[in-house]
Structure 1
Amino acid sequence: MLAVGALIWVSLRPLLRLVLCAGFGFLITKADIFPVVAARGAGQVALNITGPCLMFSKIIPSFSTDNIGTLGPLFLVGCIYEIMGILLAWTVKQFFWVPHRFRYGILAAGGWGNYGDIPTSVVMSITAGPPFNSSTDGSLAVAYVSAFILVFYVTLFPMGGSRLIAQDWVGPDVEDEDVREATRRRRHAIFKTWLWLPRCLLHRVQGLRTIEEKEDPSELEKQAPEHTPEKSELAPEAETVVEDSNRSVSELRDDTSQVFSRATTDVVMSPITSAAPTVVHGDAATDHGDHQDSSLSKTVRFSEHPSKSPSTKSQHRRHRMKKGIREFMSQLCSPPSMSIIISFVISLINPVKALFIHVPGTYMPNAPDGQPPLAFIMDTCTFVGAASVPLGLICLGSALARLKVPMTVSAWKAMPMGAIGAFSVAKIIISPILGVAICQGLTHAGVINKDDKVLRFVCLFFSCLPTATTQVYITQVYSPTGDAEHVSALLVPQYILLVFFMTILTAYSLNLLF
């Protein structure tokens, strides 16, 4: 086990490299050397070329039929972290007000973290030296990271996670004051429920104890007639029922029309009802009888329209299903996803794998240089993939430099500071605590191999990741104005807390494993 000072330095050193590399992108962006067009081009290169090459060059040597079973725990932990992040964001949303146009974006910010640049950089650096095996654990760690990246891409794009962000712009605008008031009422109701529930349980327990303390059952029989109401007490209600049953049909018709008129008036004058023209018409002030007749006539005319035939409905459902499958497959065929999937397939088929690297026990004629026939592809992917992490971190720093953060006190007061602070604490502090508990529980249950230190470290590390900067670009695409100010304000405190608490998590994980 490493000493405390060495443990802290091993945990802090990769983060310092990360900050410096991202700082270069931040500085050249602020100096107008790295314009938006260049940043987008570099991002596309990192996403579609260098990143897939890095995954290809690391997965094929690292995975085989012996350790392919680790993909199950990796996919499981990745899905658990996404669900846990969404639940944490939903909890924050219940207690702190969130702008109406960010009501679903905060859920996406909780579910999908930065699964690309940050973990690849830090995990590669830590597993490339002591206390890990520097010769094999570095490539194995990146291969494990690729499983999380695959979960990220599949759930965010093909499975429709990005549609949460699109839902923010569905429906009319709602003022911030109305959202604050609704959140205040909801918070008051939650606290009231929490206070009422223990009191209700206490009364229930006291009632059960009172019944158990009564030793003579005959006392209950003696007290029963005293609490039974006399016949004369029920006589007025019985008389009322008899009188109601003797009403004439004309009286019931008059009462029904009066009730319907009062209900129509309540609907029109209710402050909760929407004031849209489809609800309140221009003839709302006319006689209620005419309103009733017009409503009935509209109902009759609506019922006269023929409904869609079952065949038409089935065809429409089939068309939507085909469209959804086509969109799923098109998004699944993106370069990052396809490179990971193809790499996993190649790593499991030894004759195909032997075309790229030497596989013990599998014969494959070599090229003139003594290497496998397709070893030049592996060399190219290794060479190009080496630029993935630095280029990605530079793009990350550039993205942080372009965030539109409020610069005045009044602008910050208009932001949901409670939600921003609570969400940052939940994402960077509470999530790692829960992640450690989950990973330890899965380890004791035998789901995660206790002896695979790299697997356990990667699973622990992914519990402390900030919101993905990809959400900034997705929000700008769906936003009618092209702004993503709420996402920007949410990212800044997370990246500030990241350096300190990720160091703590890394040091604790290494101390736990070794």
Structure 2
Amino acid sequence: MSVPLGDIIYTAVKPIIKIYLIMGIGFYMTRKNVLSVETTRNISDLAITILLPCLMFNKIVTNISNAELKQIGTILLDGACLQLGGASLALGLAVLLKCPKYWIGGAISVGLLPNISDLPIAYLQTLGTGGVITSAESEKGVAYACIFTCLQLLFQFNLGGFRLIGWDLREEIRKAKELAENDEKIAFGASSSSEEDERNTVLQPENSSDNPVSEVSSLSSVASGQNQDQRREFIDARPYSENPVSATTTRRRRASVARSVATNEESRDETAQTMEDVVRLYSRVGSIVEGQDPDTQGLTELGLRQSQSHQKEPVKNNIPISSRVWHVVKQTLKMIGLSCLKPISIVMVVSVCFSMIPWVRALFVHNTQASVPDAPDSEPPLSFIMDFTSYVGAAQVPLGLLLLGGTISRLQIKGIDKRAFRIPLALVFMRLILFPVIGSLLNHRFKKIGLFYDDKILEFVCSITWGLPPATSMIYITALYMPATSKERIQIDSLALTYIFSYTILVVSLPFLTSYTLKVPLGY
């Protein structure tokens, strides 16, 4: 039966209204300092460590079986085309429009990484109540969206896509390393001066406090120590420093952060926190300068901590090229291995494996391929795990949208030249206008050769993922690579423009793409 066009349009617009209302609440709560930077980070940790894995496990085990194995192959193929094609087109635009060197990696990341988790899941869950798509189809669509999310995480973290942004900030990191070397020299000089003062004190008589030479030496030592602390402030932005030289600075920073993120009524009346506070909290330049991998724990959509238990050995010029290549390969494999040990990666593998084995899946949900004796409540023996994951995972999407609204509220545009507007605007046009057209053509070809297997919800999910804005996690990755006291934040300003343009256009582009997909390819 054909659905009237007006009903289709209403069904497509209804989810976007819900999404923007939740984002608006996050925007307001952030401006009121209820969602402070520290609170946002803690919620992000909770979401990526607990909530999203619970949601993924529940939806995949419930809605996917070995009968959908071929659909998973289609998702992986479509997602790879989406992300690699986006990165290629973004690189082409960057070259064509002469993108500044300080943001080439960021521009490629905009094309590579769509916001493919909370937005499509919220959209699908609302569509399931609209009468066009059934509730069962909506739940299966959420499971498909979770697989898309895992593919994105694979590109972004396991394969090192986040390092594109670090490449943009290599000059800032180089300056921080030079400053760190100067700090070590100052610290050594101050230490030597202090030891000499102690020796002089031992040799002086009891009234040596009247000796002007001793006083000058002591004042010089104190001044050197203060100067060292001030310079260390620039490069060491880690909230939990293990460097004893900067312990005093770290304690001061902890107290400062604690004051800035206080949740009492007085702090909520103060000016809302900005991207400067985000950079101050997330920056890991101190760790990078010391040769450690950046710590990405706690970033929105991230939760993939790289090991800090090892130091990178400096690469010497006389090392053979083969040894350098092998070193890079080992570091890459180690990064992939460590990323695969994170909760979200483990849950993804476990949930897919459970869903592919009928008798194991029967322990969690009823299915037609296998059966096991029910529990006394006539439910599968491990149904309580599904109840738990459903209950906990339901918080992922609303919290994610609240944090998205909060992130947008902190965006600022300060140092970007008006002529540089063309790069973010061109990327948004590619992401939200050109990509849906490319995706529709590609999916039409997939359908023609039978890759959708008459699964309408699969085709629908594969279509709307081509019309999503860039992932907001790039803001936090940029903050990770940026010195805490850096005055010029042109990379974050460029991203801010991209997000502002994206979420202004998205309110029209996504309902239009949804309406077209439901009415034309799917034939509703």
Per the normalisation by structure 1, the TM-score is 0.69
Seen in structure 2, the aligned counterparts of structure 1 residues 92 and 363 have a Cα distance that, compared at 3 Å, is closer
What is aligned with 1:337? 345
Q: In the alignment, which residue of structure 1 is the partner of 2:478?
A: 475
Q: Is the 8 A contact 1:57 1:378 kept in 2?
A: yes
Match of 1:153 in 2: 153
| Structure 2 letter corresponding to 1:360 | T
Find out whether 1:446 has 2:450 as its counterpart: yes
Contact kept, 8 Å, 1:97 with 1:418, in 2: the verdict is no
Whether the aligned pair in 1 keeps the contact of 2:113 and 2:471 (CA below 8 Å) is yes
1:462 aligns with 2:499: no
- Describe the SS at the equivalent of 1:2: coil
Deviation of the 1:366 alpha carbon: 2.7
Paired AA for residue 86 in structure 1 = A
Partner of 1:323: 331
Matched residues in 2 for 1:318 and 1:101: separation? 29
Aligned counterparts of 1:339 and 1:6: Cα–Cα separation in 2: 38
> Any idea what the Cα deviations from partners look like across 1:104-144, whole Å, max 9, x if unmatched?
1100111111011111111222144422222x112100111
Q: Which moved more, 1:312-321 or 1:322-331?
A: 312-321
Q: 1:423, CA displacement in angstroms?
A: 1.5
The answer on 1:404 being equivalent to 2:412 is yes
Contact 1:48 1:336 in 2 (8 A): yes
The answer to whether residue 383 in structure 2 is matched with residue 380 in structure 1 is no
2:30 aligns with: 29
RMSD of aligned residue pairs (Cα, Å): 2.1
Q: In the TM superposition, what are the counterparts of 1:79-228 in structure 2 within 5 Å?
A: 79-134=80-135, 136-170=136-170
Contact 2:49–2:344 (CA<8 Å) still a contact in 1?
yes
- 1:422 has 2:430 as partner: no
Cα distance in 2 for partners of 1:355, 1:72 equals 25
Q: CA deviation at 1:307?
A: 7.1
Tell me whether 1:58 sits opposite 2:59 in the alignment. Answer: yes
In structure 2, the CA distance between the partners of 1:150 and 1:172, relative to structure 1 (3 Å rule), is: closer
Question: Which one-letter code corresponds to 1:369 in the other structure?
Answer: D
Contact 1:351 1:364 survives alignment (8 Å)? yes
> What is the DSSP-based 3-state SS (H/G/I as helix, E as strand, rest coil) of the residue aligned with 2:376?
coil
Cα gap change, 1:354 to 1:36, in 2 (>3 Å)? same
1:433 maps to 437
How far does residue 317 in structure 1 lie from its aligned partner after superposition? 5.2
1:31 Cα deviation (Å)? Answer: 1.4
Indicate if the aligned counterparts of 1:59 and 1:139 stay in contact, CA closer than 8 A: no
Check 1:490–1:361 CA distance in 2 against 1; reply closer, same or farther (3 A cut): closer
Higher mean Cα deviation, 491-500 or 29-38?
Answer: 29-38
- Structure 1 residue 318 displacement after superposition: 4.8
**Where does residue 199 of structure 2 map in the other structure?**
none
Which structure 2 residue ranges, 5 or more long, are not aligned?
174-316
Map of 1:393 onto structure 2: 401
Tell me the distance in 2 between the aligned counterparts of 1:500 and 1:315: 53
Deviation at 1:5, TM superposition (A): 1.4
The equivalent of 1:44 in structure 2 is: 45
Alpha-carbon distance in structure 2 between the residues aligned to 1:413 and 1:155: 31
| Structure 1: distance between partners of 2:96 and 2:172 | 23
Say if 1:141 and 1:455, in contact at 8 Å, map to a contact too. yes
Q: How far apart are the structure 2 equivalents of 1:433 and 1:363?
A: 45
Give the partner amino acid of 2:422: G
Secondary structure at 1:157's aligned position in 2?
helix
Superposed CA offset, 1:34-86 (max 9, x none): 21111111112122211111111111011112111101110011010112211
CA distance 1:361–1:511, shift in 2 (3 Å)? closer
Q: Distance in 2 between matches of 1:413 and 1:324?
A: 37
Question: How far off is 1:376 after superposition?
Answer: 0.7
CA contact (8 A) 1:429 1:501 kept: yes
CA contact (8 A) 2:421 2:497 kept: no
**What aligned pairs does 1:338-353 form with structure 2 within 5 A after superposition?**
338-353=346-361
Please list every run of 5 or more consecutive structure 1 residues that lacks an aligned counterpart in the other structure: 174-305
Q: Distance in 1 between matches of 2:64 and 2:121?
A: 17
CA distance in 1: counterparts of 2:405 and 2:172, whole angstroms = 35
Q: Which amino acid letter does the alignment assign opposite residue 465 of structure 2?
A: F
Question: Given the superposition, is the C-alpha separation of residues 418 and 320 from structure 1 closer, same or farther in structure 2, using an over 3 Å criterion?
Answer: closer
- CA shift, 1:414, in A, is 4.1
The AA in structure 1 aligned to 2:336 is F
Which aligned pairs between 1:232-311 and structure 2 lie closer than 5 A? none
Query: Take 2:99 and 2:328, find their aligned partners in 1: how far apart are those partners?
Result: 33
For 1:327, the aligned partner's letter is M
Choose 88-97 or 456-465, whichever is displaced more. Answer: 88-97
CA offsets per residue over residues 247-287 of structure 1, 9 Å max, x none? Answer: xxxxxxxxxxxxxxxxxxxxxxxxxxxxxxxxxxxxxxxxx
Q: Is the 8 A contact 1:10 1:126 kept in 2?
A: yes
Rg: which structure is higher? 1
Cα deviations across residues 462-490 of structure 1 (Å, max 9, x unaligned)?
A: 00011110000001111235642221121
Q: Distance in 2 between matches of 1:142 and 1:457?
A: 11
- Match of 1:509, SS state, is helix
Shift of 1:170: 2.9
Q: Which of residues 346, 370, 373 is equivalent to 1:365? A: 373
Does the Cα contact within 8 Å between 2:11 and 2:127 map onto a contact in 1?
yes
Instruction: Quote how far apart the aligned CAs of 1:370 are.
Output: 2.7
Q: Which residue of 2 aligns with 1:269?
A: none
Counterpart-to-counterpart distance in 2, 1:94 and 1:360: 54
